[in-house]
Chains A and B, each alone.
Chain A
Amino acid sequence: MKITQGTFSFLPDLTDAEIRAQIDYALAQGWAIGVEYTDDPHPRNFYWEMWGNPMFDLRDAAGAMTELIACRRAHPQTYIRVNAFDATLGFETTRLSFIVNRPAVEPGFLLKRHEVGGRQIQYTIESYAAQAPEGQRYT
């Protein structure tokens, strides 16, 4: 099951040339670029690992692409996303966030129905991948 999170996620995966063009667009807007990765695909997981610090003062996408390629080489079987931060409000706001790498196999989610008082049902989802301990998922 293809995870759809962030911008462009309903499109086919972006090629490197398209990713580069998106980063160039973000840089042209004066945004900073950050690369993050995770092996926990739950939509409520906001705490992705940072691949180095966000890159400020870049002028060209080549610098960010270098980092992205290095991150892919180190973590090929994880989700990697590119974030673009806008500082015009006085603090960094995410203006653009899209997935640029995903594991080869994405097992998807289990829907759990939890019965509570009065036959009421609470729904929750759980990633099959996240049942394995961290670092052993998607291997």
Chain B
Amino acid sequence: MNEKSPATAITGATDNTGATAITGAPGAAAPAVASDRVDLDALLSGSNVTEVLDELDAELIGLKPVKARIRDIAALLLVERARKQVGLAGGSPSLHMSFTGNPGTGKTTVAMRMAQILHRLGYVRKGHLVAVTRDDLVGQYIGHTAPKTKEVLKRAMGGVLFIDEAYYLYRPENERDYGQEAIEILLQVMENQRDDLVVILAGYADRMETFFRSNPGLSSRIAHHLAFPDYLPQELEEIAERMLETMQYRLSPSAVAALHEYIPLRMKQPHFANARSIRNALDRARLRQANRLFAQKGRQLDRDALMIIEGEDLRASRVFE
């Protein structure tokens, strides 16, 4: 079943510490032997991080400030690695982050990418993302919260812990709320086990601000505050096209025009959730397309008919009323 038995695994013990081997533990003698020149380009191509960054640029539309910040962080980590190679010990930088932005601006998607990038750069060892909300961290009775929070933290070690809608952790109206306990454990691990995991807190901008104001300890331990801007109508159109591509649909010319009119109208409606609203609109258009095709029974459908969304499918939306 297992090609490698536990007994042979011990010989591989030194291999498993690969992450530290790359950075080269600055021993007493080692830096003297290592040359004092570092090739940043070689480090960059060795980490494959450019691929992930280019992928990020290509697949995520808009989000300019976020992408710029991610590039900054990547550069910092690469330089940090170079510094270690020549024996400069700076202590690993703190990379806990907060993502603030309106619904549907891509916070979770970026967090997923962030885990990959940090893994490529050797900052986290495994590069997985554990996404949790208040329910996963806070218990229901006394003594339930600490083990629950610790278990989540243990699962996230070696990767990224993503806490969505983090402000729900803190409920000022109930002073006996167990959320405070979870925050305290979180703080302790964020401070002491910085090498083991990266914590990303995410939520809507205004509520996150109140949350940070009431928990200054948390705010001061987060080095990077990334604000996710709303998408422009044109960006939303691109996003819609990208989504349809992955779903293997196509817009007819009339549908493209309809979408162009639809987006500004939808943006004025209450509960507009950026890319998520667009996804929902497209899902409803697919529904109407299916209905339309069904109504023309007796007709042979070709591949194109099954793929194309017509203008009428979009114009039936109540936004146009």
Contact = CB atoms under 8 A, between A and B. Distances in A.
Interface of A: 7-8, 11, 17-18, 20-22, 24-26, 29, 52, 55, 57-64, 66-67, 88, 95-96
Contact of B128 (A59, A61, A96): A59
Contact of B154 (A11, A22, A24, A55): A55
Interface in B27-71: none
Interface stretch (B86-94, B155-163, B201-209, B290-298): B155-163
Contacts of A22: 6, 9-10, 13
B146 to A, nearest CB: 11
Nearest 9 interchain pairs by C-beta: A60-B158, A63-B154, A62-B157, A21-B13, A62-B196, A21-B16, A25-B9, A63-B157, A59-B126
B155 to A, nearest CB: 5
Contacts of B214: none
Contacts of A59: 126, 128, 155, 157-159
B58 to A, nearest CB: 28
A59 B2 CA distance: 19
Nearest to A70: B150
Given A58-B155, A60-B196, A64-B154, A17 B125 contact: no
Interface in B279-313: none
B155 A63 contact: yes
Interface of B: 1-2, 4, 6-7, 9-10, 12-14, 16-17, 125-126, 128, 147, 151, 153-155, 157-159, 193, 196-197
Nearest to A14: B10
Given A17-B17, A63-B157, A66-B157, 5 more contacts: A25-B12, A25-B16, A60-B196, A62-B158, A96-B6
12 contacts: A17-B17, A21-B9, A29-B2, A55-B151, A59-B159, A60-B126, A60-B159, A62-B125, A62-B193, A62-B197, A66-B157, A88-B1
B198 to A, nearest CB: 12
Contacts of A57: 155
Nearest to A60: B158
B193 A25 contact: no
A11 B11 CA distance: 13
A7 B154 contact: no
Contacts of A52: 147
A87 B18 CA distance: 28
B306 to A, nearest CB: 41
A69 B185 CA distance: 17
Contacts of B196: 60, 62
A88 B2 CA distance: 12
Which of A17, A59, A61 has most chain B Cβ within 10 Å? A59
Nearest to A57: B155
B236 to A, nearest CB: 36
A67 B193 CA distance: 13
Nearest to A7: B6
B16 A95 contact: no
A55 B152 CA distance: 10
A81 to B, nearest CB: 14
Nearest to B150: A66
B160 to A, nearest CB: 11
B10 A67 contact: no
A96 B9 CA distance: 12
B6 A95 contact: yes
A21 B10 contact: yes
B13 A60 contact: no
Contacts of B153: 63
B157 A60 contact: yes
B262 to A, nearest CB: 42
